[in-house]
A and B are shown apart, each in its own frame.
Chain A
Amino acid sequence: MRDQAGQPGDAAGARRAAGELEAGVLAVLQAAGRPLTPGEVRDRVGGGLAYTTVVTILSRLHAKGVLQRRKAGRAYVYAPVADEPGLAARRMARVLDGEADREAVLARFVSGLSGTDEELLRRMLGDPPGPEGG
């Protein structure tokens, strides 16, 4: 079984998967409703992440096209490019371009998940509980 999520991005501490950290950072930015600096993101994510780790995650998400950023003073501020369903639509936009209603005609294998959905799926898969659970 392949294990691409377990990159040693933050070797110290809880060794949470990179994908999970990215999801956490993205969730913080989505909840914020305004662009945030890496410092603000770090404070809100919690878990004692190093500033450099947060910057790495943010630039990685930016490189993936999930976040947009602009200079504010000496640092960048980051904001999500789109919300969760929008994210899927944007990925698809690389394949299809310029037509309205295009999302609707695609028979997508899996649609977007809410936070509760994610937890339900993890429970059904027998995943260990999330960091807040244990």
Chain B
Amino acid sequence: MHLAVYLPLLMPLLAAAAAGPLAGRLPPVAATWLLAGSAVALAAASSAVLGLLALTALVRIPLVGAAGEMSMQVLSRGDPASVPVAVAAGVLLAAAAAGACRAAWRRTAALIAAGRQARRLPGAGQVVVIDDEGADAYTLPGWPCRIVVTAGMMRALSHPERQVLLAHERAHASAFHYLFTTAARLAAAANPVLRPVADAVGYTVERWADERAAAAAGDRRLAARAIARAALAAAAAPPRPASHAAGALGAVTSVPRMRGAGPVPRRVAALLGPPPQPRLLLCAAAVLLVAVAGASALEAARELHGLLDYARAATGS
């Protein structure tokens, strides 16, 4: 086993570095599919090669080798993965499996609880306004999803801005965004290197919903303003009163530099810019890299299989 086995372990590093820039440059729907898909594929590929490496240690235990009727000589000569590397891979794989199981368990429990809560919320409509002074709004995943808006948030926004908020949350509900974020989060639990990719998916589903809301409102600046004002209200820092007098509508004015900015200012800035354009080349490059990782894992598996076959044949003769 040569480069093929290590490539799927290196690709997640590349994906982690590329996730942020991709999330900012690709149209949000494409970015979400691409990043969530890549996270799952890369987690699977890296776990697979860890498993292969661990297997090379396992078959070198004489008892296991004997049970599989394999030649120890061939195994130790034919396999370049040293025993410490193989053992380390085994430990990492166990940690990955434990992390993924724990994350899956916790996420499932949370989704079930949210679904139960969504059913228990008062009223029959999709939107529930709860009596809470704090400004907050979110979608509870469930069957069906429910949209919760606090009274404080309703008060903080104008009528058209509330329509943007609701369109945004409806987009989350109707496009099942929690499935994308859950898939990416589980992949990151199995391979923590992929955490930036999962974070990027969290951002792109917000952008996805933002673009839907902007399209529904037919006004990107209105959508940008709704997000900015809601965020300031949620941070218990409402827009300064003078802005009502100064800008007639508190209009979003200029786009400052976004270096080091958090997700909310970047979302606002994205809406103030032109609608995102599809970038086929960028998408193709990303898909290609993930495909290379997958192919490498398969190639590594084929090599190991060949080696094991050879070791078996050596004892048979």
Residue A19 interfacial (CB < 8 Å):
yes
Residue B126 interfacial (CB < 8 Å):
no
Tell whether, in the assembled complex, residue B114 and residue A26 are in contact, meaning their CB atoms are under 8 Å apart.
no
Mark each residue of chain B from 149 to 167: 1 if its CB lies under 8 Å from any CB of chain A, else 0. 0100101101000000100
Tell whether, in the assembled complex, residue A104 and residue B110 are in contact, meaning their CB atoms are under 8 Å apart.
yes
Residue A46 interfacial (CB < 8 Å):
no
Tell whether, in the assembled complex, residue B110 and residue A126 are in contact, meaning their CB atoms are under 8 Å apart.
no
A116–B265 Cα distance when bound, in Å, is 9
The contact of B234 among A106, A110, A127, by CB within 8 Å, is A110
Enumerate chain A residues within 8 angstroms of B268, measured Cβ to Cβ: 121, 124
Residue A5 interfacial (CB < 8 Å):
yes
Closest B-chain residue to A4, C-beta based? B155
Least distance between B133 CB and chain A CB atoms (Å):
7
How many A-B contacts at CB < 8 Å in the complex?
197
A88–B152 Cα distance when bound, in Å, is 13
Majority secondary structure of chain B interface residues (helix, strand, loop or mixed): helix
Mark each residue of chain B from 262 to 297: 1 if its CB lies under 8 Å from any CB of chain A, else 0. 111100110010000000000000000000000000
- Could you list 25 A-B pairs, sorted by A, with CB under 8 Å? A1-B158, A2-B155, A4-B155, A23-B235, A23-B236, A66-B236, A91-B150, A95-B130, A99-B110, A100-B106, A105-B111, A105-B141, A105-B182, A107-B209, A109-B138, A109-B234, A110-B137, A112-B235, A113-B262, A121-B268, A122-B240, A124-B228, A124-B255, A127-B239, A127-B240
The contact of A106 among B114, B165, B227, B237, by CB within 8 Å, is B114
Residue B261 interfacial (CB < 8 Å):
yes
